[in-house]
Copies of this chain bind each other. A is one copy, B any other.
């Protein structure tokens, strides 16, 4: 219920999108899922988000079809939250907004580089590969740490994400 009754009155697909991903914490959850985080405790470790809020956000995202809950072992029963194709299509949104923040709100340079796996070229802010002249889907992106990556976070999940990593691949 991101913007609830009020956003309904907005005849606008932006408002509809914000109903799904516009709540506090939600886009950071999506970002981490894009990076390969899948488990409740891993989201928790990286985000310093209250547990109740994380539960609620994950449920909303599953409900909306951005994430899918998937039982990966039965004993003990454990589920992971995986990006759906619909969720993976949020990749350009995340890059575009990140790059905007980078240009206007930071001084220390990019914290992460996104390269086209097939050719190694750095993506444009719009998630396009200028060399291949295509929009690059999340699955084809290799993420590398940049100079702005402060290493502030010392939890194991963040540590794992400081290594080069293919998007959507599980961490570890």
Residue positions of A touching B, CB distance < 8 A: 2-3, 6-7, 9-25, 27-28, 31, 47-49, 64-65, 86, 89-90, 92-94, 96-106, 110-111, 124-128, 135, 148-153
Contacts and interface: CB of A to CB of B under 8 A. Distances in A.
10 contacts: A12-B28, A13-B105, A13-B111, A14-B27, A17-B98, A17-B100, A20-B101, A22-B22, A89-B104, A126-B135
A14 B97 contact: yes
A110 B11 CA distance: 10
Oligomeric state, in copies:
2
Given A13-B105, A13-B110, 5 more contacts: A11-B151, A13-B111, A18-B28, A86-B104, A126-B128
